[in-house]
Chain A
Amino acid sequence: MAPMSIRRAERDLNRFRQIVRGKIKKDLRKYMSHGEMIGRQGKRYVSIPLPQIDLPQFRYGAKEGGGVGQGDGDVGDPIASGDGEQGMGEAGSEPGSHVLEVDITLEELAQILGEELQLPNIEPKGKKNIISQKDRYSSIRRTGPDSLRHFKRTYREALRRQISAGDYNPDDPVIVPIHEDMRYRSWKETLMPESNAVIIYMMDVSGSMGSEQKELVRITAFWIETWLRSQYKEIDMRYIVHDAAAKEVDQETFYHIREGGGTKISSAYKLCNRLIDERYPAAEWNIYPFHFSDGDNWGGGDTRECIDLLRKELLPKVNLFCYGQVRSLYGSGRFAHDLEEYLGNEDDLVISEIADRDDIYDSIKDFLGKGK
């Protein structure tokens, strides 16, 4: 049997993607769910979009009927939140394949992201940044205080020794660690950029930004944050929303607020500039403003003002200024185009267009690919 060509699955995948994007077979979209691969709530979000099309069949509702599980707990104890499939769902028809799931930490996630997108490590700007040594308990040594003893590793060493020495009796699996088996947690010196960073998120919340657009922003912002967190010790986050006027809000509000009215981007840039001047002096902070909008702005006058603000005030202070333009129901505005035209050769400005979820990947690469 010859191994099949990769193009086989790619073809089906392309077809599927086209359906998901609503380019073909639009009637299937009503069966589509926008899953996320790693959902998190609270302050941080992880999200790999995982669209799924579930063809209708005669079946029981997921929440009906219940099922059988295994583990500890008393009657009445909750086992998992209602939206997940639990226990014995439909028996799969996959021939004997199994999937092991592994938890990964945010740090590892950032690493994967870095590798996947081939992101360069950030070079903090200027000489004022000292690289500091930081001790982290991520290593193992043979000596150490009892309080740092690593039980699992010690056990493993003892088990390994007893097996190889032939002392291990499976019927009476007593493992006695001796001095040589002891393992202790220990620190490793890691070099961390000492400097602090601030991310200033700005978003257009005028009428034309719908929930899908905010979702795009949320997902993009999550990945940016995950990456920057892996690069800096401390990160401050500020959130600015604007329509015709700008104001600072908390994170919750940032993603859920919906205002109406027109758009005056310069209002946000002014507020951002003031924030930097008051709280984050450019000499001490690595500054990352991110601005998301659908590209509609009031008449040319305001865009002119934005460009001036960027050129004279913001760009000299920041590490990187990122502008992400999402496509709204009413299409995309000219703002990205204007920035490109007037500031296209500025090194510290990144402009990226995010039409749909599939573009997030490329945008993150645009934003973070400069290593600044």
Chain B
Amino acid sequence: MKNAQLSPELQAAREEIEAYAHEYGLDFFPIIYEVLDYRTLYETAAMGGFPTRYPHWRFGMEYDQLMKGHIWQGSTIYEMVINTNPSYSYLLEGNETVTQKMVMAHVTAHVDFFKNNMWFAHTNRKMLDEMANHSTRIQRLIDHYGYEVVEDFIDTCLSLENLIDYHAPYIKRPDARTQRPIVGDDEPIVVEGLKVEREYMRDYINPPEFLERRRQKLEEERLRQKRFPENPQRDVLLFLLNYAPLENWQHTVLEIVRDEAYYFAPQGMTKIMNEGWASYWHSKIMTQKALQSSEIVSFADLHSGVVATGGGRLNPYKLGLEMFRDIEERWNKGKFGKEYDDCEDIAAKRSWDKQLGFGRQKIFEVRRLYNDVTFIDEFLTPEFVMEQKLFSFRYNSDTDLYEIASRQFKEVKEKLLFRLTNFGQPYIYVEDGNYANRGELYLRHRYEDVELKNDYARETMRNLHKIWTRPVHLETVVRDKRSLITFDGRDFSERRID
């Protein structure tokens, strides 16, 4: 791939890094590097790494924040890479060569991850073109319907963009559309009991309570079949695309917002792993191969900045990197499996070494098959939590402070998984698209001990109503009470349900 913009020095660095990466077994798409001045880099970053996006104020907001952070706080984005084939990566003009080398090593590992991690398997590798198409289509709509109208509708859609099914690309879910014809309501339900040979046994074999239970079951079955959708739908956006009374242009906008949400989803699902993997390899490639002795101090400075933890914050780069190193070591030494887990001698566990040497092979397998949730679920160990000083924290409303809640393995792991599952976002399902037989939308929030932000939830319902145009209901928990919030287009009402 031609890199017209790379200086000979950077070109040499890039060839060197990529040769090492291949040697280590990394398998990546071709990478196109571009050296950008900081303005252009931040502009691209503000648009999610894509040079052409549809016009929207939020990109301007991002840009404003990135630029102010850069000018006033000295925040720096060193690199950016997008998941496409070939992959595009942007380098910041004027960085030291050692910085650029480290960034290239980092980027190469990211691209390897994009290419091989199964959660990315369904992403559109031509997203650059797709984004540009989206931009053109929206620009056309703007020309036709007016800036404000289209922008308002984009705002509405963005308010719902997290209501997708993050696992949808990987599994076949029951369709929202029901295949069977809906049974007529008028036919009475005939309950047949078990077969009775002798008449006098009838009441013993089929007592009335039993028959009543059968009848109820059949009735539920019938209700379920009449329900629409037949099964609760997690992809709320898809449901709206299929059934909401949208105009054509609105349909287009909503589809675009949904497409882009699905494109970015795997990156959110693998943040810790992806950054950990990239940090693991930039560190490995640089320290083992690519570093000149004169560059060591600069590299160490840079690397420690990337993996720094401060103020009790969890740094995904650091966590991912340490996890990968831990896995490699455990599989090198055989610190896994029943024998190891059952061993209760701490000293023996610590010095455990079966000299298996499976570490490298294992981490490559992990990068292919896992996402953050399964990664943490399977590989976080009590020893790791202790060594890395992980803790869970909670908000204390008396002091208005966050405070350390626990250092116990179980609690830390639970909390971490909770924050990662569904990106730490609530699960919302379409339960009924014809609620009360009046075409009203009934959503259910699967409550997991944490309540929704109430004002936000209400504003979001307002936006849902704009699309659905009929009253919208949300079943959730408000102040510890199961409640149904309803927005009828003008007013909100809230009632308890049990």
Task: Give A residues with C-beta under 8 Å from B.
Answer: 1, 3-4, 6, 8-17, 19, 24-25, 28, 31, 37-38, 48, 50-53, 55-83, 86-102, 104, 109, 112, 116, 156, 159-160, 163-164, 170
Q: Is the CB of A68 within 8 A of B163?
A: no
B68 on the A face (CB < 8 A): yes
Assuming A16-B64, A160-B297, is B393 touching A102 (CB within 8 A)? Answer: no
B137 to chain A, nearest CB (A): 17
A248 to chain B, nearest CB (A): 33
What would be 16 A-B contacts, judged by CB atoms less than 8 Å apart?
A1-B88, A1-B128, A13-B61, A48-B72, A56-B455, A59-B453, A60-B424, A65-B394, A65-B418, A69-B393, A77-B403, A82-B395, A95-B83, A97-B79, A98-B78, A170-B287
Bound CA span A76–B64, Å: 37
B256 on the A face (CB < 8 A): no
Among B47, B274, B293: residue with most chain A CB under 10 A: B293
A82 partner, pick from B58, B401, B463, beta carbons under 8 A:
B401
Q: Is the CB of B61 within 8 A of A52?
A: yes
Bound CA span A91–B305, Å: 20
B416 on the A face (CB < 8 A): yes
Q: Return chain A residues, CB-CB under 8 Å to B47.
A: 9
Bound CA span A67–B80, Å: 27
B58 partner, pick from A16, A83, A163, beta carbons under 8 A:
A16
Q: Is the CB of B392 within 8 A of A93?
A: no
| Beta-carbon nearest neighbor of A73 in chain B | B404
The interface bits of chain B over 389-408 (1 if a CB of A lies within 8 angstroms of the residue's CB, else 0) are 11111111101111111110
The total of Cβ contacts below 8 Å across the A-B interface reads 318
Q: Return chain B residues, CB-CB under 8 Å to A58.
A: 162-163, 425-426, 428, 445, 452, 456-457, 460
A98 partner, pick from B60, B68, B163, B275, beta carbons under 8 A:
B275
Q: Return chain A residues, CB-CB under 8 Å to B391.
A: 68-71, 73, 75
Assuming A12-B55, A77-B403, is B451 touching A64 (CB within 8 A)? Answer: yes
The interface bits of chain B over 81-94 (1 if a CB of A lies within 8 angstroms of the residue's CB, else 0) are 11100001000000
Bound CA span A69–B405, Å: 10
Q: Is the CB of B296 within 8 A of A100?
A: no
Q: Return chain A residues, CB-CB under 8 Å to B207.
A: none
Q: Is the CB of B318 within 8 A of A70?
A: yes
The prevalent SS among residues of A at the interface is loop
A154 to chain B, nearest CB (A): 13
Q: Is the CB of A91 within 8 A of B55?
A: no
| Beta-carbon nearest neighbor of B41 in chain A | A97
B450 on the A face (CB < 8 A): yes
B159 partner, pick from A57, A72, A83, beta carbons under 8 A:
A57
Task: Give B residues with C-beta under 8 Å from A.
Answer: 32, 34, 36, 39-40, 43-49, 51-52, 55-61, 63-65, 68-69, 71-83, 88, 107, 110, 128, 148, 151-152, 155, 158-163, 264-265, 267-269, 271, 274-275, 278, 287, 293-294, 296-297, 305-306, 309-319, 372, 388-397, 399-407, 412, 415-416, 418-420, 423-426, 428, 445, 450-460, 462-463
Bound CA span A86–B419, Å: 12
Which 6 A/B pairs are nearest by Cβ-Cβ distance? A12-B60, A56-B459, A13-B60, A16-B60, A79-B312, A66-B394
Bound CA span A160–B51, Å: 42
4 further interface pairs, Cβ-Cβ under 8 Å (given A15-B56, A93-B268):
A66-B415, A67-B419, A70-B314, A82-B401
Q: Is the CB of A80 within 8 A of B450?
A: no
| Beta-carbon nearest neighbor of B288 in chain A | A170
Assuming A25-B152, A60-B424, is B297 touching A86 (CB within 8 A)? Answer: no
B313 partner, pick from A6, A69, A72, beta carbons under 8 A:
A69
Assuming A14-B60, A38-B72, A58-B460, is B306 touching A3 (CB within 8 A)? Answer: no
Q: Is the CB of B314 within 8 A of A90?
A: no
Bound CA span A83–B401, Å: 8
A74 partner, pick from B297, B392, B404, beta carbons under 8 A:
B404
Q: Is the CB of A59 within 8 A of B314?
A: no
Bound CA span A19–B57, Å: 9
B43 partner, pick from A9, A37, A74, A88, beta carbons under 8 A:
A9
Assuming A9-B46, A16-B64, A112-B71, is B267 touching A93 (CB within 8 A)? Answer: yes
Bound CA span A116–B72, Å: 10
B227 to chain A, nearest CB (A): 22
Bound CA span A79–B311, Å: 7
Q: Is the CB of B460 within 8 A of A57?
A: yes
A59 partner, pick from B52, B73, B162, beta carbons under 8 A:
B162
Q: Is the CB of B63 within 8 A of A9?
A: yes
| Beta-carbon nearest neighbor of B296 in chain A | A163
Among A68, A70, A77, A79: residue with most chain B CB under 10 A: A68
Bound CA span A366–B497, Å: 62
| Beta-carbon nearest neighbor of B39 in chain A | A6
Q: Return chain A residues, CB-CB under 8 Å to B78.
A: 98, 100
B73 partner, pick from A3, A71, A101, beta carbons under 8 A:
A101
Q: Is the CB of A76 within 8 A of B403?
A: yes
B278 partner, pick from A12, A68, A80, A96, beta carbons under 8 A:
A96
| Beta-carbon nearest neighbor of B460 in chain A | A56
Bound CA span A40–B446, Å: 40
| Beta-carbon nearest neighbor of B411 in chain A | A68
Q: Is the CB of B305 within 8 A of A70?
A: no
Bound CA span A70–B428, Å: 31
A79 partner, pick from B155, B402, B454, beta carbons under 8 A:
B402
Q: Is the CB of B68 within 8 A of A50?
A: yes
Q: Is the CB of A88 within 8 A of B460?
A: no
| Beta-carbon nearest neighbor of B111 in chain A | A96
B446 to chain A, nearest CB (A): 11
Q: Is the CB of A68 within 8 A of B274?
A: no
Q: Return chain B residues, CB-CB under 8 Å to A55.
A: 58, 155, 158-159
Bound CA span A82–B395, Å: 7
Q: Is the CB of B293 within 8 A of A163?
A: yes
Q: Is the CB of B158 within 8 A of A79?
A: no
Assuming A82-B402, A96-B110, is B68 touching A89 (CB within 8 A)? Answer: no
| Beta-carbon nearest neighbor of B265 in chain A | A93
Q: Is the CB of B80 within 8 A of A9?
A: no
A16 to chain B, nearest CB (A): 4
Assuming A1-B51, A70-B319, A91-B268, is B424 touching A75 (CB within 8 A)? Answer: no
A220 to chain B, nearest CB (A): 16
Q: Return chain B residues, CB-CB under 8 Å to A67.
A: 314, 392-393, 415, 419
Assuming A57-B460, A68-B391, is B60 touching A11 (CB within 8 A)? Answer: yes
Bound CA span A59–B419, Å: 12
Q: Is the CB of A92 within 8 A of B271?
A: yes
A123 to chain B, nearest CB (A): 27
Bound CA span A63–B401, Å: 9
| Beta-carbon nearest neighbor of A79 in chain B | B312
B481 to chain A, nearest CB (A): 16
Q: Is the CB of A52 within 8 A of B81?
A: no
Bound CA span A58–B401, Å: 24
Q: Is the CB of A63 within 8 A of B419?
A: no
Assuming A38-B73, A86-B393, A92-B271, is B80 touching A97 (CB within 8 A)? Answer: yes
Q: Is the CB of A97 within 8 A of B77?
A: yes
B366 to chain A, nearest CB (A): 18
Q: Is the CB of B80 within 8 A of A95?
A: yes
Q: Is the CB of B278 within 8 A of A59?
A: no
Q: Is the CB of B397 within 8 A of A61?
A: no
B376 to chain A, nearest CB (A): 10
Q: Is the CB of B40 within 8 A of A69?
A: no
B57 partner, pick from A6, A12, A97, beta carbons under 8 A:
A12
